[in-house]
């Protein structure tokens, strides 16, 4: 079955538009392992709404919060009136639209808040929020994933199953999804940005990983 990676809908939207290139992880909320593990190097992007908050997205991307609601298929055709308030989130809709998939071009772990801040051009959250991610469960480093995102030719609507609400990062989707489509950035654009990101992470406290011995190397 296809594997999907859970991420906020606004983040999925930003990745699918080429406005975000990295994602940052410690572990999923209520994940019993209490740490993030990179189990897959290619996956679909599954949008979530339950913990999404408007005060942790930079002002320049606040309009994307409203547009990100289009990733859900709502029972009454419209999202709840309180969706995306400061206190966070809305009930997960009955179905979600999957529009993109990503492959991990490189991964690192970091411990330096200066590195988190320097990476801010490559994510849509506020730097303050990302530094709080770094500080959470201090005994574990923050994982930085550099993603090469592709838009699939047609969005695929999938039913939200009960087990998808649990604190998991990885989901198994029960319908076929195509690893097809066009990268959201050209090769030249992605290569330039990758070089800049690599320079940032190697300038701080960082460790480069091979992806779970899968043969997918970090960028040279």
Give Cβ neighbours of residue 95 (< 8 Å, ≥ 6 apart): 72, 73, 157, 158, 159, 160
- Residue 211, phi then psi, degrees to nearest 5: -75, 100
Query: 20-34, 62-76, 96-110, 188-202: which range is least confident on average?
Result: 20-34
> What mean pLDDT value characterizes the chain?
80
Mean pLDDT score, 53-64: 84
pTM, 2 dp? 0.82
Cα 104 from Cα 87, distance rounded (Å): 31
List, for residues 99-153, the tens digit of each pLDDT value: 999 999 999 998 889 999 999 999 999 988 888 878 776 677 888 999 999 999 9
**116: its two tokens:** 């988190």
Tell me the CATH number for domain 3-209: 2.30.130.30
List, for residues 194-213, the tens digit of each pLDDT value: 999 999 998 854 444 433 33
Residues 115 and 42 sit within 8 Å (Cβ to Cβ): no
């Amino acid at each position: 079955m296809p594997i999907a990676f859970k991420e906020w809908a606004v983040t999925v939207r930003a990745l699918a538009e080429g406005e975000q290139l990295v994602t940052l992880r410690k572990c999923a909320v209520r994940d019993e392992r209490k740490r993030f593990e990179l189990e897959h190097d290619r996956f679909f992007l599954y949008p979530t709404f339950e913990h999404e908050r408007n005060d942790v997205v930079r002002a320049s991307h606040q309009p994307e919060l409203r547009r990100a609601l289009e990733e859900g298929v709502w029972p009454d055709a419209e999202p709840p009136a309180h969706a995306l308030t400061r206190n966070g989130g809305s009930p997960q809709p009955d179905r979600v639209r999957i529009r993109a998939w990503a492959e991990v071009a490189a991964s690192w772990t970091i411990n330096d808040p200066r590195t988190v801040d320097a990476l801010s051009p490559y994510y849509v959250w506020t730097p303050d929020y990302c530094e709080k991610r770094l500080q959470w469960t201090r005994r574990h480093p923050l994982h930085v994933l550099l993603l090469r995102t592709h838009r699939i030719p047609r969005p695929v609507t999938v039913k939200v199953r009960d087990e998808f609400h649990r604190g998991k990062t990885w989901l198994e989707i029960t319908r076929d999804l195509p690893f097809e489509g066009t990268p959201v950035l050209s090769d030249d654009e992605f290569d330039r940005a990758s070089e800049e990101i690599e320079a940032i992470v190697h300038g701080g406290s960082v460790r480069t990983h091979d992806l779970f011995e899968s043969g997918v190397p970090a960028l040279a």
